[in-house]
């Protein structure tokens, strides 16, 4: 009697014990009627260890790996040196999904598209939308291209350290003609004012309980915080001003669904997940 060998997947991070990815992907596998093994993989925080973990995993027959903090940029470097990178990962400067393509390492980034897919499922209008992103780190960089591809017409990046917002706008415009074409603006966080369709919190302030220094004159129809898990001050603030709000849990599910689809070809309905 032949035995089915489950396909093997991992999520690599440090810390990693808190990751919900194994449970999420096991539910996807059930939906797709596949048998998989999906493990959390701790890795020491340096590039040599990360590269060794990735090589050992794929040499051992692994099918796909998710990459989380603090390795997304290191994964990008590894793919740039030894393999191939998707357009979304190239503009994001970060890789969250690894697989082999024609025997070579391939890196993609599903975070930004997972985010946009969540906004679409919430029915938040993106066509011609005027959008402000708070923060100029990796999370901000990863959503710019998918948002513009989804049809937004204006983008402002506001950051505590204004020089970083300036640098990010320059880098993004250089990396993508699609981004350059809408000529994103930048400003200091406390200078952001006026009315936006959508405001997105992509800072890491998240669950610290601290409040962002926002002007009273700053308003929006929709406010999104990429964090999840507790009451988020930014969402309380804008919901009191009448905006619709969402945390980032739906983004987590949807970036995972896109990774699963890349690895297995199976189309997943992330709303059926119960975690």
Interface residues with ligand ATR (CB under 6 A) are 135-140, 159-161, 164, 202-205, 210, 212
Helices (H), 16-108: 21-32, 47-59, 72-82, 87-92
Nearest distance in Å: CB 160, ligand ATR: 3
Which CB atom, from 236 or from 271, has the smaller least distance to ligand ATR? 236
Whole-angstrom distance, CA of residue 50 vs CA of residue 34: 28
Nearest distance in Å: CB 164, ligand ATR: 4
Which CB atom, from 188 or from 266, has the smaller least distance to ligand ATR? 188
Collapsing DSSP to helix, strand or coil, 273 comes out as coil
Per-residue burial over 51-82, b if 16 or more Cβ lie within 10 Å, else e, is bebbeebbeeebbbbbbbeebbebbbbbbbee
* Nearest residue to ligand ATR, scored by beta-carbon proximity: 137
Residues belonging to the chain: 275
Nearest to residue 67, comparing CAs of 103, 17, 38, 109? 109
Nearest distance in Å: CB 66, ligand ATR: 16
The H or E element containing residue 219 is strand 218-225
Tokens 């020089």 found at: 163
Nearest distance in Å: CB 45, ligand ATR: 15
For every residue of 46-57, DSSP letters joined together read SHHHHHHHHHHH
Which CB atom, from 208 or from 271, has the smaller least distance to ligand ATR? 208
Residues labelled as active-site residues: 72
Which CB atom, from 21 or from 159, has the smaller least distance to ligand ATR? 159
């Amino acid at each position: 009697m032949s035995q089915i060998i489950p396909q093997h997947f991992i999520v690599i991070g440090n810390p990693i014990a808190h990751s919900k990815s194994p449970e999420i992907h096991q539910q996807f596998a059930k939906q797709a009627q596949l048998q998989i093994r999906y493990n959390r993989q701790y890795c020491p925080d340096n590039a040599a260890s990360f590269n060794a973990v990735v090589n050992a995993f794929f040499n051992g027959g692994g099918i796909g790996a998710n990459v989380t903090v603090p390795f997304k940029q290191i994964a990008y470097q590894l793919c740039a040196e030894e393999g191939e990178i998707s357009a979304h990962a190239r503009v994001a400067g970060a890789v969250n999904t690894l697989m082999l393509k024609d025997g070579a390492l391939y890196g993609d980034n599903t975070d930004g598209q997972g985010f946009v897919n969540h906004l679409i499922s919430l029915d938040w209008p993106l066509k011609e939308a005027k959008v402000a992103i708070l923060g100029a780190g990796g999370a901000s960089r990863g959503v710019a291209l998918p948002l513009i591809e989804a049809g937004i017409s204006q983008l402002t990046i506001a950051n505590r350290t204004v020089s970083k917002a300036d640098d990010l706008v320059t880098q993004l415009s250089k990396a993508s003609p699609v981004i350059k074409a809408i000529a994103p603006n930048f400003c200091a966080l406390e200078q952001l004012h006026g009315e936006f369709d959508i405001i997105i919190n992509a800072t890491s302030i998240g669950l610290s309980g601290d409040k962002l220094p926002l002007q009273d004159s700053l308003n929006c129809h929709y406010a999104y915080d990429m964090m999840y898990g507790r009451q988020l001050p930014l969402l309380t603030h804008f919901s009191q001003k009448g905006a619709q709000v969402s945390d980032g849990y739906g983004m987590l599910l949807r970036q995972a669904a896109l990774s699963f689809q890349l690895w297995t070809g199976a189309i997943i309905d992330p709303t059926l997940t119960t975690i």
